[in-house]
Homo-oligomer: A and B are copies of this chain.
Amino acid sequence: MTSTRLEAFSDGVLAIAITVMVLGLAVPDGDGWNDLLHTAGLGLVTYLLSFVFVGIYWNNHHHLFRLCPHVDGTVLWANLHLLFWLSLYPFTTAWLTRSRVGLVPVVVYGLNLLLAALAYVLLQTAIARGPGGDRLRLALGKDRKGRLSLVLFVLGIGLAFVSPWLGLVPFVAAAVWWLIPDRRVERYLQQETASEA
């Protein structure tokens, strides 16, 4: 079974998650700069952060199934599991914004990031065990980047108890770090092509 339809469905959920988050932005009642800043300023920042995370997942998901286009029942459910956590981003982002970065909302946002990241690790594992999984294992190696992200999310949750705003720092750091595209898959494919020649 090829991954074409799995990718189409995932693209749909990710695209809608992004756009639904925009609905969480409160439209200002007044029409001055202050109204914009006060009503939507924080919302725009948290929207940007969550947008980048969804973009990262879309990019990595894209590379993942480019390498391993064959899926079985386990991969289908591992993928739905990932989409479940990603589909909650609009909710946890909206609460983060409405609470003006309260302690519990930061922790819940961090848990959402953490559980989505764990679901992605599970998805990678499910694919690596399936047909054609060797290529994924070789391309990702020990996946230090994936594991260190988990550490950053846990760190952010911990730091939130010191100060909620401080807890956001590791989340932003993870987003910026991943913004630099993960070239491991591209590099692997180039090496593979080179060694075949």
Spell out A's residues near B (CB within 8 Å). 1, 5-9, 11-20, 22-25, 27-33, 35-36, 40, 48, 51, 55, 58-59, 62, 66, 72-74, 76-77, 80, 83-84, 87-88, 90-91, 94-95, 98-99, 102-105, 108, 179, 181, 183, 186
16 A-B pairs with CB atoms under 8 Å apart are: A5-B7, A5-B62, A7-B8, A12-B12, A13-B18, A15-B16, A16-B18, A17-B22, A18-B83, A20-B23, A23-B90, A27-B98, A28-B95, A29-B98, A32-B104, A55-B77
A33 near B104 with CB under 8 A, answer yes
Nearest opposing residue in chain B for A28, CB measure: B95
Least Cβ distance of A161 to chain B in Å? 13
A77 near B16 with CB under 8 A, answer no
Shortest Cβ-Cβ A-B pairs, 9 listed: A12-B15, A31-B102, A73-B181, A31-B99, A16-B19, A55-B80, A9-B11, A27-B94, A13-B15
B84 near A48 with CB under 8 A, answer yes
Cα distance A92–B36 in the bound complex, in angstroms: 10
